[in-house]
Amino acid sequence: MSALSKVASLEEYLNPVLVKEVRQALRGKQFKGAFGFTIVISLIVAIWVVLNNADSSAWQPVGPDFLTGVWSCLTIAVIGFIPMAAFNAMGAEFEENTYDMLVLSHMRPRHIMLGKLLAAGVQAMLYFSVFGFFVVFAFLLGGVDLTIVLVGLPVLAIVSLALSSVALGLSTLARKRTARVGLMVVLAAALVGSVMGTIAMQAAATQTGFDIALPEVQAGLSSLLIAALAFGGLFFVIGVSRLAHEEENRSTGLRLFGFTLVLVGLGWAEWMYSHLGGLEFLVAVPTMAIIVATVLSIFFVSEREGLGRRVETTLPNNKALRLFLVPWLPGGARGALWLVGANVTILGFVFWRLGALGALGSTGLSGLTVPEALEALTTVVSYSLIYTLLPSALFSNRSRELKRSTLVRIMILASFVLGLLVPSIVGFLLDWSTLAYFQHYGNPFWVFIQVVDGDINAKPVWLFAGFALALQLPRIVRSVTEVFRASGRV
Amino acid sequence: MTTTERTDHALCVKNVTKRFGDFTAVDRVSFDVFPGQVCGFIGPNGAGKTTTMRIASTLDMPDEGEVFVCGSSVLVDPRAVRRQLGFMPDAYGAYPDTTVEEYLDFFARAYSLRGKARKKALDHVTDFTGLAPLGGKLIDGLSKGMRQRLCLAKTLLHDPGFLILDEPAAGLDPRARVELRELVRALADMGKGVLISSHILSELSSLVDSISVIESGRIQGAGTVEEILNQLRPHMRVYLRCLAETDLVERALLELPGVSGVHHEKSGLAFDFDGDQQAIAKLVAKLVADGLSPIEFAPESVDLEDVFLSLTEGVVQ
Tell me the mean pLDDT in the region B157-165.
93
Question: Which pLDDT score, from 0 to 100, does residue A49 have?
Answer: 78
- Cα B15 to the center of its chain, rounded Å: 20
Q: Do A104 and B91 touch (CB under 8 A)?
A: no
Q: Do B85 and A104 touch (CB under 8 A)?
A: yes
Question: Which pLDDT score, from 0 to 100, does residue B265 have?
Answer: 86
pLDDT band at A237 (very low <50, low <70, confident <90, very high): very high
Question: Which pLDDT score, from 0 to 100, does residue B2 have?
Answer: 42
Mean pLDDT of chain B: 86
pLDDT band at A473 (very low <50, low <70, confident <90, very high): very high
The answer for A 28-67 residues in CB contact with B (under 8 A) is 28
> Helix, strand, coil % (nearest 5) of chain A?
80, 0, 20
Task: Flag the least confident range among A137-146, B3-12, B47-56.
Answer: B3-12
What's the pLDDT tens digit per position in B216-233?
Answer: 899 888 888 777 777 766
Question: Which pLDDT score, from 0 to 100, does residue A150 have?
Answer: 86
Q: Do B75 and A107 touch (CB under 8 A)?
A: no
The answer for A 245-284 residues in CB contact with B (under 8 A) is 245, 247
Q: Do A245 and B61 touch (CB under 8 A)?
A: yes
Across chain A, which distance is largest between two alpha carbons, in Å? Answer: 87
User: Which of A19, A97, A106 is facing B91, going by the closest CB pair?
Assistant: A97
Whether residue A1 lies within 8 A of chain B, CB to CB, comes out as no
Whether residue A459 lies within 8 A of chain B, CB to CB, comes out as no
Structure-derived torsion over alpha carbons of residues A21, A23, A24, A25, reported in degrees to the nearest 10: 80
Task: Flag the least confident range among A55-59, A166-170, B130-134.
Answer: A55-59
**B contact test, residue of A22, A105, A108, A399 with most B CBs within 10 A:** A105
What's the pLDDT tens digit per position in B235-288?
Answer: 778 889 998 888 888 888 888 888 888 888 888 899 888 887 788 888 889 889
CB B32 within 8 A of CB B91: no
Share of residues in chain B with pLDDT > 70 (%): 94
Tell me the mean pLDDT in the region B191-200.
88
Task: Flag the least confident range among A139-148, A404-413, B19-28.
Answer: A139-148
Q: In Å, how far are A207, A297, B62, B102 from A63, measured between CA atoms?
A: 10, 49, 65, 44
Q: Do B106 and A100 touch (CB under 8 A)?
A: no
B317 to chain A, closest Cα gap in Å: 21
Whether this model's ipTM surpasses 0.85 comes out as no
d(CA A256, CA A244) in angstroms, rounded, equals 16
Whether residue A104 lies within 8 A of chain B, CB to CB, comes out as yes
Q: Do A102 and B21 touch (CB under 8 A)?
A: no
Q: Do A12 and B59 touch (CB under 8 A)?
A: no
**A contact test, residue of B106, B118, B155 with most A CBs within 10 A:** B106
Q: Do B89 and A309 touch (CB under 8 A)?
A: no
In the predicted structure, residue B195 carries a pLDDT above the cut 90: yes
* A295: helix, strand or coil: helix
Tell me the mean pLDDT in the region A87-100.
89
Which residues in B have their CB inside 8 Å of a CB on A?
Answer: 1-3, 21, 57-59, 61, 63, 75-76, 78-79, 82-83, 85, 87, 89, 91-98, 102, 106-107, 109-112, 114-115, 154
Tally of helices (H runs) and strands (E runs) in chain A: 20, 0
Residue of B nearest to A105 (CA): B111
CA neighbor of A91 nearest in space, from A243, A284, A272, A254: A243
User: Which of B79, B93, B111 is facing A98, going by the closest CB pair?
Assistant: B93
**A contact test, residue of B64, B107, B156 with most A CBs within 10 A:** B107
B258 to chain A, closest Cα gap in Å: 54
What's the pLDDT tens digit per position in A43-75?
Answer: 888 888 777 776 666 666 777 888 888 888 899
Segment of A41-45, A80-84, B128-132, B305-309 carrying the highest mean pLDDT:
A80-84
Mean pLDDT of chain A: 87
Q: Do A23 and B96 touch (CB under 8 A)?
A: no
Task: Flag the least confident range among A170-184, A301-315, B58-72.
Answer: A301-315
In the predicted structure, residue A373 carries a pLDDT above the cut 90: no
pLDDT band at B3 (very low <50, low <70, confident <90, very high): very low
Task: Flag the least confident range among A227-236, A369-378, B296-305.
Answer: B296-305
In the predicted structure, residue A398 carries a pLDDT above the cut 70: no
pLDDT band at A359 (very low <50, low <70, confident <90, very high): very low
pLDDT band at B205 (very low <50, low <70, confident <90, very high): confident
Question: Which pLDDT score, from 0 to 100, does residue B101 have?
Answer: 93
Tell me the mean pLDDT in the region A382-397.
89
What's the pLDDT tens digit per position in B75-95?
Answer: 888 889 999 999 998 877 788
What's the pLDDT tens digit per position in A212-228?
Answer: 778 888 888 888 898 99
Residue of A nearest to B81 (CA): A104
Question: Which pLDDT score, from 0 to 100, does residue A490 have?
Answer: 54
In the predicted structure, residue B1 carries a pLDDT above the cut 50: no
d(CA A106, CA B309) in angstroms, rounded, equals 41
A242 to chain B, closest Cα gap in Å: 14
Residue of A nearest to B156 (CA): A105
| A56 vs A235, residue with greater confidence | A235
CB B16 within 8 A of CB B64: yes
d(CA A111, CA A14) in angstroms, rounded, equals 11
